[in-house]
């Protein structure tokens, strides 16, 4: 059996067909942070030390260690056999003994919450945003939303305005990460399907110029954080 973290700071959050989403508790804790550090390889430790903000370093270390433990359990390998990499646009992948592993995964964190999505096939993306006041919200609305989405946000008032925006933003970011183009994808060029904008938890979107691929979008947010998962499906 593959090793597991002794401290349970991550727990299963939800299962979406074959996508497992795990929640990582990023609240400071000396014991778990020390244990997480032992799971990192040399390059990951060097990267962690480059973070000037202790909160950013803690989030990276805890999420990375949790990801390694989950992958070792799923792939039935030792931590020493596992290596993690990323494509040119930041799409993550794992190798075991130098061979790319047949698994898709994605990680996101915000404030005290981390999410890890794992799937045995296709592409998958996850995004989480703590439900806290956003600076420059009006600028973000103009930068990432389409006309109908902006109208949805502006029709809301008070705290609901922020919640509507964060729900849309996480859905778009999850899709961007699943797509694999990261920041190079203009998320304002497409809009979230009307059924999701009207309250459905899940729906399907086809990207402009990509009729062969359908993307299943699911809102998995709570009252503590906005969150979404995007998974590749076969086209029509």
Q: What is the pLDDT of residues 62-112, one digit of tens each?
A: 999 999 999 999 999 999 999 999 887 678 899 999 999 999 999 999 999
Residue at token pair 């299962």: 15
The residue length of the chain stands at 236
Tell me, yes or no, whether 5 lies in a domain. Answer: no
Give tens-digit pLDDT for 138-164.
899 999 999 999 999 999 998 899 999
130, burial (CB in 10 Å: exposed 0-12, middle 13-18, buried 19+) = middle
**Does 1 reside within a domain?**
no
Q: Which two tokens stand for residue 142?
A: 């103009």
Q: Domain ends where: 121, 140, 158?
A: 121
Task: Identify the CATH number of the domain in which residue 45 sits.
Answer: 3.90.470.20
Give the pLDDT score at 170.
97
DSSP string, 81-99: GEEEEE-TT--EEEEETTE
Gap between the Cα atoms of 200 and 78, Å rounded: 41
pLDDT at 15 over 60: yes
Residue that is last in its domain, among 96, 121, 146: 121
Contacts of 115 (CB under 8 A, 6+ apart): 13, 21, 22, 23, 24, 107, 108, 109, 126, 127, 128, 227
Distance of CA 194 to the CA centre of its chain: 23
* Domain co-membership, 65 together with 153: no
pTM greater than 0.85: yes
Measured CA to CA, the distance from residue 215 to residue 165 in angstroms comes to 20
C-alpha count within 13 angstroms, C-beta hemisphere, residue 213: 15
Determine the structural domain holding residue 62 and report its residue range. 10-121
């Amino acid at each position: 059996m593959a090793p597991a973290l002794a401290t349970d700071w991550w727990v299963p959050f939800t299962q979406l067909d074959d996508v497992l989403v795990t929640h990582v508790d990023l609240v400071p804790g000396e014991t778990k942070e020390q244990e997480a550090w032992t799971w990192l390889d040399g390059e990951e430790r060097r990267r962690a030390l480059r973070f000037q903000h202790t909160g950013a370093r803690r989030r990276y270390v805890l999420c990375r260690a949790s990801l390694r433990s989950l992958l070792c359990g799923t792939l039935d390998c030792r931590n020493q056999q596992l290596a993690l990499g990323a494509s040119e646009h930041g799409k993550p992948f794992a190798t075991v003994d130098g061979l790319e592993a047949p698994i898709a995964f994605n990680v996101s964190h915000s404030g005290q919450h981390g999410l890890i999505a794992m799937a045995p096939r296709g592409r998958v993306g996850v995004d989480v945003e703590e439900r806290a006041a956003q600076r420059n919200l009006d600028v973000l609305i103009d930068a990432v939303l389409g006309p109908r989405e902006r109208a949805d946000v502006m029709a809301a008032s008070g705290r609901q305005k922020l919640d509507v925006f964060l729900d849309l933003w996480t859905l778009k970011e999850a899709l961007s990460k699943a797509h694999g183009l990261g920041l190079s994808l203009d998320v304002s060029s497409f809009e979230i399907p009307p059924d999701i904008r009207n309250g459905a938890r899940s729906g399907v979107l086809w990207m402009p110029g990509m009729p062969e691929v359908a993307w299943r979008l699911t809102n998995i947010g709570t009252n503590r954080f906005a969150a979404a998962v995007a998974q590749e499906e076969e086209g029509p």
